[in-house]
Structure 1
Amino acid sequence: MANMTLGIIGGTGLGEALGALGAGQEHRLETPFGPTSGPIVTTEVGGVPVALLSRHGPGHALNPSRVPYRANIWALKSLGVTHILASGAVGSLREELQPRQLVIPDQVIDKTFRRAGTFFDDLAVHVEFAAPFCNGLRSALVKASTGLPTRVHQGGTYVCMEGPQFSTRAESELHRSWGASLIGMTVMPEARLAREAEICYALVALPTDYDCWRPHPAHVDQAKLIEEILGNVKVATQNAIELIRRAIPHVVAAAEKPCPCQSALALGIWTDRSLVSTETRRQLEPILGKYLR
């Protein structure tokens, strides 16, 4: 794919560590949806154009419900981003998905309710979302995982809850009964908006603990537990950065092949084009422009 640019969105811990991928130029874009989480840094990694964004902003100031997901994806699209590798800390709902390992999920259950979930408030647009993560990018991550010094699990369902509080024990057991693998707070509506923007998107999930379905050892107090979780975040973050580094050449190879993510809107716009206002056309030019000219 010509003019491919890779976006990298970091979650807990990874935002600060993304600087290890290289220094570059800061962009503070004005968007129709307000400011982004923070500056987007464009650089090159191994000759590949990359745009870096810390999801929670400098100093992790934004809780999951306050992340400006629409502004973030709009801005990345405006900068020419065609593919996104995202990461985020999660709780594990399965014994075999151990803290410090990595998971490349293939499904999502969306339980959020406070977040704007579409770019298309003023027209009817329906995109296919049966497979919420790009198969080409997931394959690139799987290929890159060979030889990584931790186990990388392929597949799994991510339950995205609103937060910012964690689950009750009953909720955690309910999510397990659904067959879900992970619980987190940030993948939605990020993944859906990426699809609306026709950007390929995949997630590297970082299990930090076993949520609350698995009782903690009685001898471990709360302070020690938090210390352990933060240690898990640090190690999993290092593993995720290494996986993303290794995945970049595979992403470039995948980008040479057509992907349905890149034409998600082709059959999704139901509103009569003549009824789309000039203001909407202006605001959504980076996303809808090619379909409204």
Structure 2
Amino acid sequence: MNTKIAIIGGTGVYDPNILTDIAEEKVDTPFGQAKVKIGSYLTKRVAFMARHGEEHSVPPHLVNYRANIYALKMLGVKNIFATAAVGSLNPEMKPKDFVFMDQFLDFTKTRAQTFVEDGVIHLDMTDPYCPRIRKVLREAAEKLGLAHHNYGTYVCAEGPRFETPAEIKMYKQLGGDLVGMTSVPEVVLAREAGICYATIAMVTNFAAGISPTKLSHQEVVDIMDENAQNLRNLAMEAIANLNEDEACPCIPREDPAALK
């Protein structure tokens, strides 16, 4: 059975515990090796990948995004649900809210952003996060009664440090709603690979200068733990309702040349 759906677990999401009959695979790619667990949910095969490793040992700027996405492409994945812990710049997006963002601002500095090493490919990124998958997530959140937002602009910072209040003020003035450290280049590489991609962003805190307290990684993990069951329920409902073979306007009819 083909594996057409993947979950990329971010901070606090290390265990594919919604799946059964799980087997681990190590996939060798031109960009390095990626570890994936593949199991079943209902009648669907689902791949699970822990972005930071099962022990959260890989910081965001050192994640091998190219190997991860290339491996999922090799497995036949056509749809990715990514999870991300985010800080909020928007007072309406509160801790424990889910956000199905639709845009990003890229402030990363050192990351490989393309598979292409010979030639030129110009990707359309008008809708970087798949509208079809975002619709499935929105409908699932509505059915489950979860606090959620259907739009939002994600600011991707380099990390691994948290941002300064001055940076957060700038990001907010530029139109940012959320800040995190992982969505870019992951979303860009998924598009280049011809895979539909959307993010389940969970707000864990207000960003620096907005939060009344100093930020800590433990605060992020604690909120993720408190909201873990809601996240699992949301993912399960969305996977159950996703048509994994549906054609999507966010992906060109032919796979980009990058992975041919």
SS of 1:145's equivalent?
helix
C-alpha distance in 2 between matches for 1:54 and 1:264: 29
What is the aligned residue count?
A: 260
Q: Which has the larger displacement, 230-239 or 124-133?
A: 230-239
Q: Which has the larger displacement, 141-150 or 181-190?
A: 141-150
2:122 aligned residue: 126
Matches within 5 A, 1:52-91: 52-91=48-87
Matches within 5 A, 1:208-219: 208-216=204-212
**1:148 CA drift (Å):** 2.4
Q: Which amino acid in 2 is paired with 1:257? A: E
Unpaired runs of 5+ in structure 2? Answer: none
Unpaired runs of 5+ in structure 1? Answer: 270-283, 289-293
SS of 2:45's equivalent?
strand
Normalising by structure 2, we get a TM-score of 0.93
The structure with the largest strand share of the pair is 2
1:28 aligned residue: 26
C-alpha distance in 2 between matches for 1:185 and 1:9: 14
Structure label with greater radius of gyration:
1
The structure with the largest helix share of the pair is 1
**1:238 CA drift (Å):** 2.5
Matches within 5 A, 1:1-293: 5-16=4-15, 18-36=16-34, 39-216=35-212, 228-252=219-243, 255-263=244-252, 287-288=259-260
**1:150 CA drift (Å):** 2.9
Q: Which has the larger displacement, 68-77 or 122-131?
A: 122-131
Q: What does the per-residue CA deviation read over 1:121-175, in whole Å, with 9 as the maximum and x for residues that have no partner?
A: 1121112111101111011111111232530111000000101111111001111
State percent identity of aligned pairs.
38
Q: What does the per-residue CA deviation read over 1:101-126, in whole Å, with 9 as the maximum and x for residues that have no partner?
A: 11100001111111100001112111
C-alpha distance in 2 between matches for 1:119 and 1:212: 34
Q: What does the per-residue CA deviation read over 1:63-100, in whole Å, with 9 as the maximum and x for residues that have no partner?
A: 00110000000001101111000001010111111111
Q: Is the 8 A contact 1:6 1:84 kept in 2?
A: yes
Question: Closer, same or farther in 2 for the Cα pair 1:161/1:123, shift >3 Å?
Answer: same
C-alpha distance in 2 between matches for 1:150 and 1:239: 8
Question: Closer, same or farther in 2 for the Cα pair 1:159/1:22, shift >3 Å?
Answer: same
Q: Is the 8 A contact 2:3 2:75 kept in 1?
A: no
Normalising by structure 1, we get a TM-score of 0.83
**1:3 CA drift (Å):** 5.2
**1:260 CA drift (Å):** 2.8
C-alpha distance in 2 between matches for 1:89 and 1:81: 23
Q: Is the 8 A contact 1:9 1:15 kept in 2?
A: no
